[in-house]
Structure formats: C-alpha cells, structure tokens
C-alpha cells in the first residue's frame, strides 16, 4: 500500500522538483511523446480556493505574472479541468466537495497542493477541523511549499509539473486508482458517514481498476 | 367490425380526392342549384384532409369503441369534404356549419371541457359562421349569384364590405389576434387526439377560406387598396395582422407550462405565418403559404398525436411533471424531435423550404420590416421548441409515473412513424411538393408556377437549394465523425448515476430541483418587450375595451343633462346644422 | 467526385487551420491589450489536441454523445456550403446547391442539436445556458438577417455566388455601396461569434460555463474544433457578402482577418452584457438602425 512518509514539508517539494530530472521519458513512442507534449502545453486549472493561499491565484492569472503564457488557464467546471489546485488548508467540510470535484475530473488529471497546509498541516497542524496531509486523501502530483507561496513559486510548481507530464510520468490519478481502498478508508476516517456518493468513482465498482 | 367501418370512413377524403372527376350540379329547388367541383385549390386542402383523417382516426380506435364519437367524426369529415367541394356559397356554408357543430359536439365529449372552453369555442365559431352568412347574403343581394367565382364590376365600398366580412369570418377560424381566444382553450381541453385534428386540419379551413378571397377579387387586393412597394396595401395590413399574431402567440407559447396549450399557441403562430404570406400575394409567397400549410399539417398531426401518447402513458401534461422519457419512449422522442425540427423550420426538413419561400416572397415584395418581424417570431419559436422536447424527454423524471412510463401503443406509433417518414421525404424532395402539390394550385389561381428543375431542388428566381445535397452532406459528415470518434484513443464511459453532475462540488439528490422545464423562458420576461407582451393578455384587452366603452358611454351620457331644455337645444342645433350642410352641398 | 472530396477536405482543413490561428491571435491580442505576453499563437491548437487525446470521457446517455456529433456535422456542412473563393473551381464545396438563407439557418442547426445533448445531461446549469443562448439568438437573428436581407434586396438574389460576382472591385463592394446594411449586421454578427460584449452564454464562470458544463475530454475537443471552423465559415460568409469575396487564398485570409480584427478590437474594449440587456440592445440599436435603413433605402423613391 502506498504511504507517504518518506518526506515532509519542503523535502517533498525538493524531491518532486528533482524527480523529473532523473526521468528522461525516452521509453515513450513518438505519438505518446507528442500527446504528452500537447498535454503539458495546455493545463486547464480548477482553482479550488480552499484556504488563504487562494489569494495568490488571481495575480497568477492576471497581467503581472500571466500564467497564460505557459498555456495555463482557468477552467469553470471540473469536467474541463486538468489540474486541481488545492490552495491551502482544507476544512473537512470542504474536503468532501474537493473529493467530488476531483473524481469528476477526466483523466489524465493532476493535483497541485499549494502551501504548507497541504503538506503537513502548516500553521493549522493542531486544528480540529482541517486535514493535515492532503496526500492521504487525494494523490498530489506537485507540492508548492511556503506560507503563503508567492506566484513565482506557484509558476515554478506548474513548470515542474509540465516537465513531469512531458516526460510521460503517470498522473497521480493512477495512484488513486491503484490505492483506492486506502484513500477511501482515509477519507471515511475524517468524513464519517458524510462521504461523497460512490458513483463518481464507478470504475472502482466495475472492477475496472487500471 | 365497427372500427373497420370507421377507419374506412376516415379514408373517404382520400377516395374523394382520387376518384372525383367532373363537376356535379345538383338542382335543389327552382332557381337554386348546388354546384360541386374539385378545384386545384380545394384538391390541395383535400389532400391534407386525406392524409390527416386516417392518422387521427387510428389512435381513436384504441380501447372500447365509442360509437357517438365515431359518428360525429364521420359527420365532421363529410362536412369538410362538402365545404371543399362546394362551388357555391350555399354548399360552402352547409359544410361550414356541419364542421362547426360536429366538432363542437366532439369537443363536448372530452372529460376536461369546462363551460368557458365550450362557450368560447361555439361563440367564436358561430360568429365566424354568421359573418360568413352575412357576407354571402350581401354578395347575393348585389350579384344575384351564390357561386364562388371572380366578381367584377363592384363598387369599392361594396368590395371593402365583402372583403372585411369574409376576411373576419376566416380570420376567426385561423385564430388571428385578438380573435384567437377560443383556440388555446379548445385545443387544450379537446380529447387529446382530436386536438391534432383541430390544429392540423380545421384551422386549414380558415386558410382555405382566406385563399378564396383572391379568387373572388382577382387582383382586387391591389385594385381596391393600391400598392405599397411590390405588394397590395390591403395585403400589407393582412400580413401585419398575421405577423403580430405570430409574434405574440410565440411569446405566449414560451410562457406556457402545459404541453397542449403550448402547441395550441404555436399553432396560432404558425398559421399566422401563413396569413402573412397570403398577404404578400405573389406566387412565391402563396407557394410558401401552401408549403407552410402542408408542413404545419404534418407537424401538428405528429406532435399532437405524440403528446397524446405521452399523456396517455403518464397521465401528465405539464412540463414540471415529466422528464427523462427519452429512454422509455424513444419513438415518441423521435416523433417530437422531427416535429420540432419541422416546426422551427430547420434546413434538412421541409419546414425550411416553407420558411425560405415565405422569406423570399417578402424580400421580393421589399417588405423588409415584415420580414424582420417574421424572423423574430420564427427565431423565438426555437425556445418553445426546445422546451417541448426538453420538458418531457430530457432532464430528470419528476413524477412517479414518468419514472415507469412505457412506449405508447401502436395506434399512436404507426401514424407517428408514417408522418416522420413523410416529413423527412419532403425535406429531401422539396421540389416534388412544389411540382405535384403546389404548382397546380398556383396555376389554378392564375399565377406563375414556381417550378422545380428536379425533385430534390427548390428553385426560385432568387436562388434555391438542393435537398439531397444538404441532407447528404450532413449525414455523411455525421457518420464520418462518429466513426472517427470511436476509432480514436481514450476510454468513454457512461455515468452510472443521473446525479453525477458537476454541481459546484455539491451532491444533488432526488429532492434537488434539477428539472428546468417549468422555469424555461421565465427569465425572458426581463426583456422589456417580451415582458410587456406577457403581462398583457387578450382577456385584459377585451375587458379594457369594455371599460373604455363604458367610460365613453358614461361621458356621452353626461352630455344629455337632465334638463329637457338642453336636449331640445341640442336637437334644434343639430337640425339646423344638417340643414346648413345640405344647403351648402346643394342637395 | 474526387474533386469534391479533395475540395471538401481542403475547405475543412483550411477552416480549422485559420480557426486556431485566429483564435490564437485573439488571445495574443487580448494579452497585449492587457499588457501581458499571452500564450503562443498555437495555443488553441494545443488545447484542442489535448482534449482530443484525453484518456477519459464521460457521457450521460446516447443523446449526450450524439449532440457534439450533430454540432460538428452542422459546422462542417456550413463550411461546405459557403463559397470560399470567387471565380475558382476550388474551395467551393457544395455552395452551388445552397444559398444565403440556408447558410444562416445551417449556422443554428448544430447548436440546437447540441442543446438536446445538454438537456439530456440533466444538468440544470447547462439548460440554463441553452435558454440564454436561444434568447440571445432571438435578439441577434432579427437585425442580422435584416442586414443580409438589405443586401438580398439590393442584388435581388439570395445566392452568395451572384452577390460576390456583383462586387468586382472596391467601389462595388457592398461595404461601400450599402454601408448601412453592414452596420446593421456587424454587431449581431459579433454576437453570433460569441464575441465579448455578447458572450454571456458560454463565458466561463457565468452560470458555470453554460451549455458546455457537462462536456469533457474528447467531446469537448469536438466542440472546440467545430467552434473554430464555424467562426471561419461565418467570417468568410461576411467577407463574401460585404468585402467582395476573394480570388486567392491570401486575399481571403487578409479579408477575414480584417473582419476578425474588427471584432477582436470591439470585444476587448467592452464589458459583458447580461442576456436580456443583449436582446434589448439588439432590438434597439441595430434593429433601429435597420428600420432606418429600410425606410431610407427601400421606402423612398430615390433608392
Ligand atoms: S500555507 Fe499558510 S497561507 Fe497557505 S493556507 Fe496554510 S496558513 Fe494559509
């Protein structure tokens, strides 16, 4: 079972930034490499403004930092989005909505955890109603460390994610599929009976675990 | 046995159409002879009747046989044939009365009819009949002749009088504003299948009557009123009546929450287009009017029969109570789909051919403001067309009955399938309809025929289009792209729950109001013009008229003071005034 | 036969190519106005390819699947019925068997087909978007067709070929001979392109992306593709009718680009209108102008 305990805080970020350097992507076929290149060139972002980090998403999109030059643009609904940005601490109440939105996104899909709160709870480490480690509930592809990280940091995260995609690294959704029991058990632990309905991960029941 | 007999009775219009040859004169009593003949114009409407009668009869056959209904329906058909065959106004009037009364009695057999509906139906139709009677007696008094033929040598005021009397009589029948009050009520309350007959065929009798007018006054329209741009002034007025009718009826239709009422208003609107085209009076426009009459007949038969099937299976008629029937009643879904495509006048189907001819007719007459108004109403009709298909078939099921409904019985499906076939075929071969159905009428009316170089081509002097090309290209691309899509990479899977919706992260449940059927069109009220139209009903118009009349009467009443001297003074003054005027004019 | 096939493919390919370049340019243009660098000019192509190669696509029943196919078929049919070049046997498609009114109606066939798909998804936000779209259509179609009708009356034909042939040089362009008609129809034309002041229907974040709310993956890719092709078809139609058509591909690109630049410039400068404001606007300003030009050019004897 996958468990996320070999890194914490900025270590995770560092590892992820470096992981792409090791990965060459040479084993992909030509078409796959082309598709991967298209994918990394066009990321539709579902910015889920959960915590205070959400404030950094606006300058990211507007004139000063202009994320659109990397092909990053906001999406209105989870159906159209490729990247889910969890911006900061996640209240348990919000977690349910986030999980549902994530499950409604279509693969390949990626999750970016923004801010220390998503890595280890940050300054909410002892809060009674926020989750501490996002990775226990959703498969995070990229962490952006800091409290709160500046838009430059977020852009760096996006660029690292793009490199990862271009190299053909599988999206976190794969991990989610493979370890769905573990993720669901974790989710149930905090949400109790208040779980999102199970038809959004219907492939799990259909025995279609890839 | 009885049912078979009934069905064969329903085929009589077809029999009449195909076997009729030569005129019949039937001497009634001295001096008066009834003439019967099948003119090309009558043959066109007879053809509509021949198509429609059996299709309406078939669903009526379902269940226990209902002799009075069958008998009345037979009388109704007889009356309408009489009306169409009549070569003089006596036969015409007899047919008209038979039609009115038998349809009224049929209407009364509906369990849903209320006093108001029945009264408005019979009052308006009687008014129409009496106007007709007055018109024909007036005609007799000046020409000593009852025959339906060109009248010449009339004084202009006489012409105007005849024109108004006949015009009003037939406009009531087609339900032009503000004479339409009976239409939505009776179409709504009539037995579900019979509504199809009312809307598809009986309203066409009004059109038939209106088309007799140019026969009575050959180029009289422009003669009595002069010309405006490229058409007659009287026609311009008629056309505006038609188009305003259709605009208002369209917005009313959008606001309805009951399927049959929506269709009733849409009938008013569609027939309004025909009136508009008749007003233009050129051969293109008359061709368009005839085409529209044909398409509207087919479409309304199809829609009303399908809706009757839905009501039969679910017991609901309101948009708020239905939904998601697409998987349970697929054939009915296609019925309504083809129906609304025809109704909206979308290209592959013949509704477009009719619209095209009417538009071209208006452009040819240079009546562009009318064109703009017509476009407004025909674009607005998309909204109610969408509502008509979304409400019952798409979205979420909103009542227990809608969740378990099954497809309608075959009595309903057979007419639907045949009508769909006819509509699609007409869409591919608009030229055929022109050549076979419409040109003979135009020639009979003494106009230049439109003509068609090939069956699939609709050609006018303004350019045309090729039905096969449009349909062929569309179908080819559709098949190609679907095939390509399946060849492509990537998994496609169906949502396992109908509640798997992107709903801002929330989880909708059965209690969430997800069906948008009733709310559709409600926000249209915020557009000032539409809001204004929807706030004012015709009933209010009539009661307003009444108030105004009373107020005027009251005001005039004050003139007559209680003092007798003032009266006498008035009388003397008026007397003196008349005398002076007469003296001055030398009489 | 072979000629038809090659021609059709050339038209489809060209519409797609021009479509994503134009939209790429539009995003660049918009970015520069806002003092940003903006994405690459091929960005729309990348987005489109990304969607077409998504590995997962959710559907809500067969009608939901067929909707995008209908809208795509409608868009391609439109493309094939608009003549792209004048006095040439190439890039004609099936335009000889069509006419202007047919094309205008073909423009709406697809969206209406897609509306069925939106309805069958069962998402009320989508249907709300469709209703808004139909409402806007009601507003824009009246002045749009009135503007075109003025041209039809002027040339006494509804055939695009004939109208193109009647404009041999600049002095005979309908833009010059009938400027009122152009003014009447240009704003509704922009709205039919979903351009900015009138884009409340499909604008992201506005009723949750409007009609497209439930579409994902490859179906969304199809929707994007047809949108780009449709945009080009409409631009070419207007260039044919008002700018005298084009004899070479370069001329065609230049003329359509000029029109596109006009729409882009207008749409970057104005904020979005609500649906009913849009309708009201169309029924007041462009339609009022239309009525004036009908009175001025048709009612009075000097015309
Ligand atoms: S990391 Fe800091 S800025 Fe971000 S959500 Fe947590 S507390 Fe707020």
State the best of B284, B381, B473 to mutate against chain C, taking most chain C CBs within 10 Å.
Answer: B473
Helix (H, G, I), strand (E, B) or coil at A90: strand
Residues in a beta bridge with A48: A86
Checking if the pLDDT of B253 tops 80, the result is yes
Check whether residue B544 and residue B441 sit in a common domain.
no
Model pTM score: 0.89
Question: Any alpha helices (H) in chain A, and if so which ranges?
Answer: 10-22, 30-41, 57-61, 92-104, 116-120, 151-166, 172-178, 180-191, 202-205
Check whether residue B265 and residue B189 sit in a common domain.
no
Please work out whether the CB of residue A113 comes within 6 Å of at least one atom of ligand 1: no
Distance of CA B219 to the CA centre of its chain: 25
Q: Which two tokens stand for residue A102?
A: 């994530």
Residue of C52, C128, C276 lying closest to B516 (CB–CB):
C128
State residue C24's pLDDT score. 93
Identify the residue whose C-alpha is closest to ligand 1 atom 2.
Answer: A147
Q: Which two tokens stand for residue A177?
A: 């599929």
CB contact under 8 A, B473 and C135: no
- Determine the atom of ligand 1 nearest the C-alpha atom of A115: 1
Confidence of residue B38 (pLDDT cuts 50, 70, 90): confident
State residue A10's pLDDT score. 67
CB contact under 8 A, C73 and B478: yes
pLDDT in tens, B269-289: 998 999 899 888 888 888 999
Check whether residue B70 and residue B162 sit in a common domain.
yes
Cβ(B445)–Cβ(B286) below 8 Å: yes
Q: Which two tokens stand for residue C57?
A: 């696509």
Residue of C102, C122, C146 lying closest to B514 (CB–CB):
C122
Confidence of residue C110 (pLDDT cuts 50, 70, 90): confident
First to last CA, chain A: 15
State residue B166's pLDDT score. 85
CB contact under 8 A, A108 and C55: yes
**Ligand 1: which of A49, A52, A85 to mutate, judged by most atoms within 8 Å of the beta carbon?**
A52
Residues B350, B297: Cα–Cα separation, whole Å:
12
Please work out whether the CB of residue A89 comes within 6 Å of at least one atom of ligand 1: yes
Give me ligand 1 centre to Cα A87, in Å. Answer: 8
Q: What is the mean pLDDT of residues B71-81?
A: 88
First to last CA, chain C: 45
Three-point CA angle C128, C130, C135, nearest 5°? 95
User: What is the number of domains present in chain C?
Assistant: 1
Q: What is the mean pLDDT of residues C30-52?
A: 91
CB contact under 8 A, B496 and A199: yes
Checking if the pLDDT of B223 tops 60, the result is no
Which residues on chain A are in Cβ contact (under 8 Å) with B506? 97, 100
Residue with tokens 């007459």: B365
The number of residues in chain B equals 587
Give me ligand 1 centre to Cα A166, in Å. Answer: 29
CB contact under 8 A, B523 and C121: no
Which candidate, C44, C109, C112, C114, places its Cα nearest to that of C79? C109
Q: Which of B181, B216, B251 is the last residue of a domain?
A: B216
Distance of CA B11 to the CA centre of its chain: 23
Checking if the pLDDT of B222 tops 60, the result is no
B357 inside domain: yes
Chain A, nearest residue to B497 by Cα: A199
Check whether residue B113 and residue B227 sit in a common domain.
no
Checking if the pLDDT of C245 tops 70, the result is yes
Cβ(A48)–Cβ(A87) below 8 Å: yes
Check whether residue B542 and residue B528 sit in a common domain.
no
Please work out whether the CB of residue A143 comes within 6 Å of at least one atom of ligand 1: no
B272 inside domain: yes
Q: Which two tokens stand for residue C256?
A: 């359509």
Confidence of residue A25 (pLDDT cuts 50, 70, 90): low
CB contact under 8 A, A108 and C35: no
Helix (H, G, I), strand (E, B) or coil at B427: helix
B478 inside domain: no
Chain B, nearest residue to A196 by Cα: B507
B11 CB-contact burial (10 Å; exposed 0-12 / middle 13-18 / buried 19+):
middle
Domain that includes residue B433, residue range: 222-448+511-536
Give kind and range of the element (H or E) at residue A144: strand A142-144
Confidence of residue A3 (pLDDT cuts 50, 70, 90): very low
B181 inside domain: yes
Distance of CA C193 to the CA centre of its chain: 4
CB contact under 8 A, B500 and A199: yes
Which residues on chain A are in Cβ contact (under 8 Å) with C35? 63
Q: What is the mean pLDDT of residues C259-283?
A: 89
Q: Which domains does chain A have, with CATH numbers?
A: 30-192 (3.40.50.12280)
CB contact under 8 A, B507 and A100: yes
pLDDT-wise least confident of A17-31, B385-399, B442-456, C23-37: A17-31
Helix (H, G, I), strand (E, B) or coil at B457: strand
- Listed by number, the residues of chain B in 505-564 with a beta carbon closer than 8 Å to a beta carbon of chain A are 505-507
Domain that includes residue C185, residue range: 2-299
Which candidate, C195, C219, C141, C140, places its Cα nearest to that of C22? C195
Check whether residue B419 and residue B336 sit in a common domain.
yes
CB contact under 8 A, B481 and C137: no
pLDDT-wise least confident of B148-157, B444-453, B542-551, C113-122: B148-157
Residues B500, B491: Cα–Cα separation, whole Å:
18
Cβ(C106)–Cβ(C74) below 8 Å: yes
What count of other Cβ atoms lies within 10 Å of the Cβ of residue B119? 12
The number of residues in chain C equals 303
pLDDT-wise least confident of B321-325, B339-343, C73-77: B321-325
Confidence of residue B511 (pLDDT cuts 50, 70, 90): confident
Checking if the pLDDT of B220 tops 70, the result is no
Check whether residue B523 and residue B572 sit in a common domain.
no
B152 inside domain: yes
User: What percentage of chain C has pLDDT greater than the value 70?
Assistant: 98
Checking if the pLDDT of C303 tops 60, the result is no
Please work out whether the CB of residue A52 comes within 6 Å of at least one atom of ligand 1: yes
- In sequence order, which residues have a C-beta less than 8 Å from that of residue B434 and are 6 or more positions away? B287, B291, B450, B451, B452, B458
Check whether residue B108 and residue B194 sit in a common domain.
yes
B430 inside domain: yes
Confidence of residue A2 (pLDDT cuts 50, 70, 90): very low
Check whether residue B172 and residue B286 sit in a common domain.
no
B554 inside domain: yes
Check whether residue B19 and residue B168 sit in a common domain.
yes
Q: What is the mean pLDDT of residues C57-68?
A: 90
Give me ligand 1 centre to Cα A85, in Å. Answer: 13
Q: Tally C-beta pairs within 8 A across B and C.
A: 237
Question: Rounded to whole angstroms, what are the CA distances from B133 to A141, B94, B255?
Answer: 85, 10, 37
Check whether residue B284 and residue B345 sit in a common domain.
yes
DSSP classification of residue B318: B
User: What is the number of domains present in chain B?
Assistant: 3
Residue of B496, B504, B506 lying closest to A202 (CB–CB):
B496
Q: What is the mean pLDDT of residues B569-586?
A: 78
**DSSP codes of every residue in B485-540:** HHHSSSEEEE-SSTT---STT----TTS----TTTTTGGGGGSHHHHHHHH--HHH
Cβ(B148)–Cβ(B215) below 8 Å: yes
- Determine the atom of ligand 1 nearest the C-alpha atom of A89: 5
Give me ligand 1 centre to Cα A82, in Å. Answer: 23
Check whether residue B119 and residue B242 sit in a common domain.
no
* Dihedral of alpha carbons B405, B409, B410, B411, sign: negative
Checking if the pLDDT of A9 tops 80, the result is no
State residue B295's pLDDT score. 94
- Determine the atom of ligand 1 nearest the C-alpha atom of A114: 4
């Amino acid at each position: 079972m996958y468990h996320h305990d070999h890194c914490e805080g900025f270590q995770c970020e560092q590892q992820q930034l470096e992981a792409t350097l090791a990965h060459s992507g040479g084993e992909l076929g030509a078409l796959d490499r082309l598709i991967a290149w298209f994918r990394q060139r066009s990321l539709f972002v579902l910015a889920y403004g959960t915590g205070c980090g959400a404030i950094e998403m606006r300058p990211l999109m507007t004139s000063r930092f202009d994320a659109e030059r990397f092909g990053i643009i906001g999406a209105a609904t989870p159906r159209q989005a490729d990247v889910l940005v969890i911006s900061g601490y996640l209240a348990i109440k919000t977690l349910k909505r986030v999980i549902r939105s994530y499950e409604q996104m279509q693969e390949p899909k990626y999750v970016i955890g923004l801010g220390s709160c998503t890595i280890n709870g940050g300054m909410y480490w002892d809060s009674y109603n926020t989750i501490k480690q996002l990775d226990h509930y959703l498969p995070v592809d990229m962490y952006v460390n800091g409290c709160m990280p500046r838009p430059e940091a977020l852009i760096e995260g996006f660029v690292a994610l793009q490199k990862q995609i271009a190299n053909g690294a599988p999206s976190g959704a794969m991990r989610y599929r493979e370890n769905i029991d573990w993720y669901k058990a974790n989710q149930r632990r905090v949400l109790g009976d208040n779980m999102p309905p199970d038809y959004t991960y219907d492939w799990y029941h259909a025995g279609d675990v890839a | 046995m009885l049912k078979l007999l009934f069905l064969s009775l329903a085929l009589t219009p077809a029999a009449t159409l195909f076997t009729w040859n030569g005129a019949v004169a039937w001497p009634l009593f001295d001096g008066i002879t009834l003439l019967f003949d099948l003119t090309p114009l009558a043959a066109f409407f007879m053809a509509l009747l021949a198509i429609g009668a059996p299709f309406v009869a078939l669903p009526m056959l379902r269940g226990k046989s209902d002799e009075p209904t069958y008998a009345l329906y037979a009388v109704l058909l007889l009356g309408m044939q009489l009306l169409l065959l009549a070569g003089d106004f006596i036969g015409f009037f007899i047919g008209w009365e038979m039609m009115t009364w038998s349809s009224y009695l049929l209407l009364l057999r509906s369990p849903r009819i209320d006093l108001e509906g029945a009264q408005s139906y019979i009052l308006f139709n009687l008014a129409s009949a009496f106007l007709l009677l007055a018109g024909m007696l007036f005609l007799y008094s000046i020409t000593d002749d009852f025959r339906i033929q060109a009248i010449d040598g009339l004084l202009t005021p006489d012409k105007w009088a005849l024109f108004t009397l006949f015009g009003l009589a037939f406009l009531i029948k087609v339900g032009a504003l503000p004479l339409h009050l009976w239409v939505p009520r009776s179409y709504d309350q009539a037995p579900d299948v019979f509504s199809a007959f009312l809307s598809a065929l009986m309203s066409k009798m009004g059109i038939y009557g209106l088309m007799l007018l140019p026969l009575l006054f050959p180029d009289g329209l422009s003669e009595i009123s002069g010309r405006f741009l490229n058409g007659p002034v009287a026609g311009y007025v008629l056309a505006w009546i038609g188009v305003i009718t259709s605009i208002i009826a369209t917005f009313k239709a959008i606001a309805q929450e009951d399927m049959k009422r929506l269709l009733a208003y849409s009938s008013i609107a569609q027939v309004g287009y025909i009136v508009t085209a008749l007003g233009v009076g050129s051969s293109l426009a008359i061709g368009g009017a005839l085409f529209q009459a044909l398409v509207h007949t087919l479409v309304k038969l199809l829609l009303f029969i399908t809706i009757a099937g839905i009501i039969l299976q679910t017991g609901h008629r309101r948009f708020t109570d239905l939904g998601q029937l697409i998987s349970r009643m697929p054939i009915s879904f296609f019925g309504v789909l083809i129906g609304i495509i025809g109704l909206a006048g979308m290209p592959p189907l013949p509704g477009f051919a009719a619209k095209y001819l009417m538009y071209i007719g208006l452009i040819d007459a240079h009546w562009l403001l009318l064109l703009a108004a017509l476009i407004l109403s025909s674009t607005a009709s998309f909204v109610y067309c969408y509502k008509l298909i979304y409400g019952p078939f798409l979205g979420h099921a909103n009542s227990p009955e809608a969740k378990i409904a099954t497809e309608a019985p075959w009595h309903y499906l057979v007419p639907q399938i045949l009508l769909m076939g006819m509509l699609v075929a007409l869409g591919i071969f608009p030229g055929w309809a022109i050549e076979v159905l419409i040109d003979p009428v135009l020639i009979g009316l003494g106009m230049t025929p439109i003509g068609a170089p090939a069956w699939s081509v609709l050609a006018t002097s303004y350019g045309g289009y090729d039905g096969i090309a449009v349909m062929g290209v569309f179908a080819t691309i559709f098949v190609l792209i679907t095939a390509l899509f399946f060849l492509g990479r990537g998994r496609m899977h169906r949502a396992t729950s109908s509640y798997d919706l992107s709903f801002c992260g929330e989880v909708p449940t059965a209690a969430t109001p997800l069906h948008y059927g009733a709310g559709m069109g409600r926000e249209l009220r915020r557009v000032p013009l539409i809001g204004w139209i929807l706030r004012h009903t015709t009933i209010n118009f009539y009661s307003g008229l009444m108030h105004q009349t009373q107020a005027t009467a009251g005001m005039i009443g004050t003139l007559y003071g209680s003092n007798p001297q003032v009266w006498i003074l008035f009388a003397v003054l008026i007397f003196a005034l008349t005398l002076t005027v007469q003296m001055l004019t030398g009489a | 036969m072979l000629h038809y096939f090659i021609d059709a493919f050339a038209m489809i390919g060209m519409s797609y190519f021009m479509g994503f370049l134009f939209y790429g340019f539009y995003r660049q243009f918009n970015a520069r106005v806002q003092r940003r660098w903006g994405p690459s000019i091929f960005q729309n192509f990348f987005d489109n390819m990304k969607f077409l190669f998504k590995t997962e696509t959710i559907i809500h029943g067969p009608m939901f699947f067929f909707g995008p196919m209908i809208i795509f078929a409608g868009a391609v049919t439109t493309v094939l019925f608009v003549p792209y070049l004048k006095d040439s046997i190439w890039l004609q498609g099936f335009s000889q068997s069509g006419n202007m009114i047919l094309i205008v109606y073909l423009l709406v066939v697809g969206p209406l087909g897609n509306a069925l798909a939106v309805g069958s998804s069962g998402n009320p936000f989508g249907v709300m978007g469709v209703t808004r779209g139909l409402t806007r259509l009601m507003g824009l179609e009246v002045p749009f067709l009135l503007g075109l009708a003025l041209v039809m009356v002027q040339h006494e034909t509804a055939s695009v070929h004939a109208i193109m042939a009647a404009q041999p040089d600049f002095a005979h362009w309908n833009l010059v001979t009938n400027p009122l008609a152009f003014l009447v129809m240009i704003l509704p034309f922009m709205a039919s392109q979903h351009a900015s002041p009138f884009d409340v229907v499909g604008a992201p974040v506005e009723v949750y992306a409007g009609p497209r709310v439930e579409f994902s993956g490859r179906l969304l890719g199809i929707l994007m593709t047809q949108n780009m092709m449709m945009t080009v078809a409409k631009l070419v139609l207007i260039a044919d009718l008002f700018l005298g058509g084009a004899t070479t591909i370069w001329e065609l690109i230049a003329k359509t680009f000029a029109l596109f630049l006009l729409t882009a410039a207008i749409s970057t400068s104005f904020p979005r209108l609500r649906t009913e404001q849009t309708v009201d606007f169309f029924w007041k300003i462009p339609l009022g102008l239309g009525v004036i030009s009908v009175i001025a050019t048709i009612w009075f004897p000097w015309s």
